[in-house]
Amino acid sequence: MSGFRRQSASLHRQHQFDAPAGAKPLPSTLVPCTQDRDFPVYDWAVRHAAVTKLTADKQASLVFIGDSITQMFGGAPHDRGQPGKDVWEKFYAKRNAANLGFGYDYLENTLWRLRHGELDGAKAKVVVMHIGTNNAGKNRPEEIVAGVRALLDEIHQRQPQAHVVLMAIFPRGPKPDAMRAKLDTTAKGYEIWAEALEPVLVKLLGESKP
């Protein structure tokens, strides 16, 4: 038994290697990984499998990518509260849209999702991306920019025909905060967002104006 313990201990030794001279570690925004920070609200892995299948089955022509702000906009799967649901139904239900928003996602989590097939089954004409606010508390601006660029590269590689609408990160602040109160994710907020996007989508989707 003592010999077994000695052998097990030897198998779990850690080795540390020095980085080559001048080498710089990649920022976390460029290292794809999964997450479960919002597990009490929804199951990240289950949603990943569901939206991957849904996007492929629909061959979605309009795709939204983002974090909880996007996830709560609407669309299947209905795995958390969606204050923007009625707005989504009004603007996007007839447009063969898919919602790839995941609550509490960092840029690197979204990068993992795209590299594991979420966008591959789409036939996207337009991709709307709003992501990065959750990185603001842990990454420098240039690291966030690098992560956004990596996501844009993934989109262009997997859906080269698609137009990409890159949303600026919505402003935010610590609670309680008057500015943040004005920006609460409400149905009215989603309506403002959808109406602002509408002329852009009509043009890029090649639709005739009503």
How many domains in the chain? 1
Nearby residues of 31 by Cβ (< 8 Å), 6 or more positions away: 108
> Is the residue at 15 inside a domain?
no
How many CB atoms are closer than 10 A to CB 106?
Answer: 24
Write out the two tokens for 164.
């990409």
At residue 176, the pLDDT reads 54
Under 8 Å between Cβ of 129 and 114: no
Q: How far apart are CA 56 and CA 49, in angstroms?
A: 11
**Does residue 183 fall inside a structural domain?**
yes
CATH number of 109's domain: 3.40.50.1110
Taking the chain (210 residues) in runs of 10, the rounded mean pLDDT of each run is 44 57 87 96 98 98 97 96 97 97 98 98 98 95 97 98 95 57 74 97 88
Q: Quick check: 130 and 69 in contact, CB under 8 A? A: yes
Residue 179 inside a domain? The answer is yes
Q: How far separated are the first and last CA of the chain, in Å rounded? A: 79
Say if 48 falls within a structural domain.
yes
22 in any annotated domain: no
- What is the pLDDT at residue 181? 47
The two three-digit tokens of residue 133, written as one number: 């606010």
Name the DSSP letter for residue 95.
G
Residue 138 CA to residue 147 CA, distance in Å, equals: 13
Q: Tell me what pLDDT residue 4 has.
A: 41
122: closest CA among 168, 80, 87, 157? 157
The model's pTM is 0.85
Q: Check if the beta carbon of residue 164 is closer than 8 Å to that of residue 127.
A: yes
Specify the 3-state DSSP secondary structure of 43.
Answer: coil
Domain hosting 89: range is 31-204
User: What pLDDT shows up at residue 16?
Assistant: 60
Strand locations in 46-204, DSSP E?
Answer: 62-66, 97-101, 126-130, 163-166
Q: Between the CA of residue 54 and those of 43, 58, 73, 99, what are the distances in Å?
A: 16, 6, 17, 9
